[in-house]
Amino acid sequence: MTSEALSKGYEPADVEARWIAYWQDEKTFTPDPDGPGEPYSIVIPPPNVTGALHMGHALNITIQDILCRYHRQKGRKVLWIPGTDHAGIATQNVVERSLAAEGSSREALGREAFIERVWKWREEYGGKILNQIRRLGASVDWSRERFTMDEGLSKAVREVFVRLYDEGLIYRGDYIINWCPRCHTALADLEVEYAPHIGKLYHIRYPVEGTDQFVTVVTTRPETLLGDTAVAVHPDDERYREFVGKYVILPLVGRRIPIIADAYVEREFGTGCLKVTPAHDMNDFELGRKHGLEAIAVQDEAGRINDNAPEKYRGMDRTVARKAVVEDLKELTLLDDIRDYEHNVGECYRCRTVIEPFVSKQWFVKTKPLALAARAAVEDGRTAILPDQWTKTYYDWLDNIRDWCISRQIWWGHRIPAWTCQACGELIVSRENPTVCPACGGDQLEQDPDVLDTWFSSALWPFSTFGWPDNTKELKTFYPTTVLSTAFDILFFWVARMMMMGLHFMGEVPFKHVYIHALVRDAEGRKMSKSLGNGIDPLAMMERYGTDALRFTLCAFAAMGRDIKLAEERIEGYRHFINKLWNATRFALMHVGEGAPDISPAEAAKAGLCHAMILSRLERLKITVSGAIEGYQFNEAAQELYGFFWREFCDWYLEMAKVDLGGDDETKKGAAKRVLLTVLTETLTLMHPIIPFVTQEIWSKLPGIGEPNLAKVPFPPLRPELISDAAEADMELLRAIVVGVRNIRAELNINPGVRLTALVHTESSAQAASLTENAAMISFLAKLENFQAGPEVVAPKASASAAAGSCALYVPLSGAVDFDVEYLRLSKEEVKTVKELTVVEKKLGNEDFVSRAPAEVVAKEQEKQGALGERLARLRELKDRIKKLMADE
């Protein structure tokens, strides 16, 4: 009466925004570093500031939120830090596009104005994904939100750069890097993605100096010929042995270049003769360094042929130059052959432009020493990668790591803190912007125009977010973080680099666990992608089915080490569960709307078998759910909660409790109310980490709730003394009888309205006592007007029958029983039982089994043999009886 009536169905839209605001107002997720409890911390993998929430994010946020909310319940001091990264190239691209639409460009604006413009963009649109994360219910501490371009984090970036430089772990040099001619910047090896392209394989003849002979090289990029500085063959290749040490005259250029021998060359590929262009090919670059070859760059930053090439080609785009070179070679009859050829070509991961390997001055991190430490930390268990199978991948990458190119030729990002003195050429790397050259005292200092790779700042995230390099309270309390949850695709990009930086600067691993979650795919198992258009928009799902339905679905599918194939129907299906929860509450409130008597659950359990049973099951549930979440088995937690709440609590307990709740016995009624409320509140608490909104909403409607903020309510107390095998076993028999009657009703097509009589022949009087005590309940569930149980019960004349456990169940029927149907049903049951019994008997008949299997396994089999034997006997009696009755007719 006091509690307002709940609407007939759960309507998430009204509810979610309200609780998000409530939690925030209550500062529920802002921990005090000095507060009690063992710290538990997570840094959110910072999404790209230009990004929008996709299913992968939704899954990852849900997982982290489950962990955080659960550990808060367990009394840990939880800090979950949100934020975004500045996504240098992506963000710059976005802003440049909007400038282009206005007919402007970043060059027109100038560096400073452009950066200002990016900040403005970020203010306006950069909060989008964070708002989407907020809508998911993420229990992050918004008061500690971070951005990789923040002042504090920028300070950390500079500190790291300077220290690494001083330690010789950052260096600048002319090296070949991956160049995106569209983005005008260098990319790290990881930022290049390979995709199959159909190209051509050109066979080109190079004349050997001083002879009339040729060597034929094979290439997919004939225009790079202009930069060739050698031809290479395998040292053991008989075909070319005589040429090694000689020279060829480079066609179209006329340069005299050596023929060298190196085992790197594959004899089987093409002609076995390789043109070497150190300035434009990764492998050729290495080869060139090894053999002291000159690297002649023949393209500029936009992919056009430069002045190092013959005049004719200068200024041509690389694709135009290719055609021109091919034509000219044809004319000289030096082009032997052109074949179609499918091969993998590197593309820019941001814009899909074909990458041009390019020699230029760049900054690098010397990764080897850092990688060794990062590997060791996992080897000795300071950090565990879960599931374990990713550990090998992590090792492989670290073992084969190459130096990390960290300079980017863009404007949006952390400017490299390096200056060159215009007077003496001194290179100055400094925390503070220098004003005079320490070498010559000159004041003409020019800062390096490049910025750092975004991942450079992301790598510092687990400590920069806590205020490093300052020794803050947060840093002391919450570093190392407890767990990092992420998808495998950034294991290298990010996880490995955080490990390297965390270990180097903090001396401790950045996280104790790395949980690699599943990849969310579409119903056909394809990766969700914009280009395929097969993505399921999490926000649309949240609107349609409620955030809890989406969260529960993701949780239920989050089995470790396996990808998720997601279809919208799954989410729709789990919405039904949310609704079930809602309606069970509506029912409960009809009876406990004004609260329940203040008796202990233990006392209430004594009031009836059903109460003892559900309380026992509840205790087991607490243990399995805890174990599941702590072991990152989210699917198991969801499944257990689902099964308990729907199958045990709603299907059985609520139905059974109706008898006491509607009866006259005030003691029983009180106990039922107490148990109903206890089980409901405690399961809500257990479910809250997975489905925070609906549980909180229901919580607010329940009577006698002390703490109104469910996110602050501790994990329910454990009451191991309530676990009762006996109660659960007695209930098993009771259920078997109810199901037996229902089964008979269904098979014999008896109207559900008709009340029946059921008689049960039991083996023992103890069994009979338990059943008789619950006669009212059995009658209610099976729709009986009469129920009797005891060892003395004998089969009535005209009745349907079944075996329930080891008891015999009879349902007398006044009308004609269809004996044929009855007989068939029992026979089927008999066949099944015989089959099971045979398996058991065969085992027990095997001497090796009895002597070698563990005693408890043997005992279990013997027990099973007994039960099955009894059941079989019962079935056969029932069959015999029917046979007799049939004969009598």
Partner RNA sequence: AGGAGCGUAGCUCAGGGGGAGAGCACUUGCUUGACACGCAAGGGGUCGGGAGUUCAAAUCUCCCCGUUCCUACCA
Q: Residue positions in the annotated binding site for ATP?
A: 530
Which member of 282, 834, 837, 873 binds RNA (CB under 7 A)? 282
Q: Is 742 in the site for RNA (CB under 7 A)?
A: yes
Q: Regarding beta strands 230-233 and 256-261, do their DSSP bridges make them parallel or antiparallel, or are they unpaired?
A: parallel
Q: Which of residues 761-800 bind RNA (CB under 7 A)?
A: 780
Q: Does 281 bind RNA (CB under 7 A)?
A: yes
Determine, following the binding rule CB under 7 A, whether residue 870 of this chain makes contact with RNA: no
Q: Whose Cβ is closer to RNA: residue 537's or residue 568's? A: 568
Stretch of residues binding RNA (CB under 7 A), selected from 77-85, 101-109, 686-694, 852-860: 852-860
Q: Which of 21, 436, 754, 857 binds RNA (CB under 7 A)?
A: 857
- Which of 424, 523, 726, 886 touches RNA (CB under 7 A)? 523
Minimum distance from CB of 861 to RNA (Å)? 6
As measured in angstroms, the least distance from the Cβ of 121 to RNA is: 30
What is the rounded CA–CA span in Å between residue 216 and residue 206?
A: 6
- In contact, 269 and 241? CB cutoff 8 Å: no
Among 73, 229, 635, 696, binds RNA (CB under 7 A): 635
Interacting stretch for RNA, rule CB under 7 A, among 458-466, 639-647, 672-680, 693-701? 639-647
Q: Is 439 in the site for RNA (CB under 7 A)?
A: no
- Which one of 272, 502, 689, 716 is in contact with RNA (CB under 7 A)? 272
For residue 64, what is the DSSP state?
A: H
Whether the Cβ atoms of residue 20 and residue 135 lie closer than 8 Å to each other:
yes
Find the shortest distance in angstroms from Cβ 570 to RNA: 7
Rounded to 5, what percent of the chain is helix, strand, coil? 50, 20, 35
Pick the closest to residue 581 from 711, 710, 672, 698 (CA basis): 698
CA distance linking residue 612 with residue 607, whole number of Å: 8
Question: Binding to RNA by residue 650, rule CB under 7 A?
Answer: yes
Count residues contacting RNA (CB under 7 A)?
96
Q: Which part of the chain contacts RNA (CB under 7 A), choosing from 124-132, 219-227, 306-314, 404-412?
A: 219-227
Q: Tokens at residue 92, please?
A: 């710059």
Interface with RNA includes 746 (CB under 7 A)? Answer: yes
User: Closest approach of Cβ 873 to RNA, in Å?
Assistant: 18
Tokens at 871, concatenated: 């059941």
Query: How many Cβ atoms are within 10 Å of 435's Cβ, its own excluded?
Result: 8
Please tell me whether residue 7 binds RNA under the rule CB under 7 A: no
Nearest to 408 by CA among 194, 193, 178, 192: 178
What's phi and psi for 27, nearest 5 deg? 50, 40
Residue 655 makes contact with RNA by CB under 7 A: yes
631 binds RNA (CB under 7 A): no
The least CB distance from residue 373 to RNA, in Å, is: 21
The answer to whether 13 and 545 have CB atoms below 8 angstroms apart is no
Report, in Å, the least distance between residue 416 CB and RNA: 25
* 245 lies in the site for RNA, by CB under 7 A: no
Q: How far is the CB of 655 from RNA (least distance, A)?
A: 6
What is the 3-class SS of 161-227, one letter each residue? Answer: HHHHHHCCCEEEEEEEEEEECCCCEEECHHHEEEEEEEEEEEEEEEEECCCCCEEEEEECCHHHHHH
Dist CA 490 CA 496 (whole Å) = 9
Determine which residue in the list 63, 136, 265, 686 makes contact with RNA, applying CB under 7 A.
265
Region from 570-578, 669-677, 709-717, 878-886 binding RNA, contact rule CB under 7 A = 570-578
Q: How far is the CB of 752 from RNA (least distance, A)?
A: 5
Angle formed by the axes of helices 692-699 and 568-592, nearest 10°:
10
Distance CA(545)–CA(401), nearest Å, equals: 45
Q: b/e per residue, 808-838, with b = 16+ CB within 10 A?
A: bbbbbbeeebeeeebbebbeebbeebeebbe
| Binding of RNA by 237 (CB under 7 A) | no
Q: How far apart are CA 647 and CA 380, in angstroms?
A: 44
Angle at 278 between CA 274 and CA 280, to 5 degrees: 95
> CA-to-CA distance for 172 and 175, rounded, in angstroms?
9
Contact between 564 and RNA per CB under 7 A: yes
Identified binder of RNA from the candidate list 355, 378, 560, 615, rule CB under 7 A: 560
> How far is it, in rounded angstroms, from Cα 681 to Cα 673?
12
Of these, 425, 449, 627, 662, which contacts RNA (CB under 7 A)?
662
- Tally of CB atoms within 10 A around 757: 18
Which 668-727 positions form the footprint of RNA (CB under 7 A)? none
Q: How far apart are alpha carbons 281 and 232 in whole angstroms?
A: 14
* Nearer CB in complex with RNA: 614/654: 654
**Binding residue for RNA (CB under 7 A) from 849, 862, 877, 885?**
849
8 binds RNA (CB under 7 A): yes
Q: Does residue 364 sit in helix, strand or coil?
A: strand
Site string for RNA, 12-51 (x = CB under 7 A): ----------------------------------------
Q: Give the sign of the dihedral formed by CA 602, CA 604, CA 607, CA 612.
A: negative
Residue (585 or 799) nearer to RNA, CB: 585
Q: Which is nearer to RNA, 623 or 746 (CB)?
A: 746
Report the site for RNA in 99-128 (rule: CB under 7 A).
Answer: none
Alpha helices in 260-364 (DSSP H): 282-291, 318-331
Whichever of 413 and 740 has its CB closer to RNA, that residue is 740
CB of 583 to RNA, least distance (A): 3
**Distance between CA atoms of 614 and 584, rounded to whole angstroms?**
15
Going by C-alpha positions, the residue among 193, 284, 283 that lies closest to residue 492 is 193
| From 864, 865, 870, 873, residue interacting with RNA (rule: CB under 7 A) | 864
Query: For RNA, which stretch binds (CB under 7 A), given 24-32, 702-710, 756-764, 838-846?
Result: 838-846
User: Which residues have C-beta within 8 Å of that of residue 773, sequence separation ≥ 6?
Assistant: 609
Question: Restricting to residues 372-391, which ones interact with RNA according to CB under 7 A?
Answer: 389
> Among the candidate windows 59-67, 136-144, 604-612, 853-861, which touches RNA by CB under 7 A?
853-861
Shortest distance in whole angstroms from residue 704 CB to RNA: 20
Q: Residue 726: how many CB atoms within 10 A of its CB? A: 12
- Rounded to whole angstroms, the Cα distance separating 879 from 824 reads 9
Q: Which is nearer to RNA, 115 or 628 (CB)?
A: 628
Shortest CB 300 distance to RNA, Å: 21
Short-list 636, 416, 485, CA closest to 138: 485
User: Can you tell me the distance from the alpha carbon of 817 to that of 888, in angstroms, rounded to the nearest whole number?
Assistant: 14
**Closer residue to RNA (CB): 361 or 860:** 860
Asked if 274 is part of the footprint of RNA (rule: CB under 7 A), the reply reads yes
Alpha helices in 229-384 (DSSP H): 282-291, 318-331, 368-379
Q: Least CB distance from residue 781 to RNA, whole Å? A: 8
Pick one of 30, 344, 433, 827: the residue that binds RNA (CB under 7 A): 344
Q: Which of 190, 230, 253, 800 binds RNA (CB under 7 A)?
A: 190
> Within positions 474 to 513, which residues make up the interface with RNA, using CB under 7 A?
489, 492
Which of residues 861, 871, 874, 878 is near RNA by CB under 7 A?
861
Query: Minimum Å distance from CB 229 to RNA?
Result: 14
Nearer to RNA (CB atom), residue 745 or residue 881: 745
Q: Under the criterion CB under 7 A, does residue 339 sit at the interface with RNA?
A: no
Tokens of 543: 């609107």
Nearest approach in angstroms of CB 282 to RNA is: 6
Feature table: binding site: 530
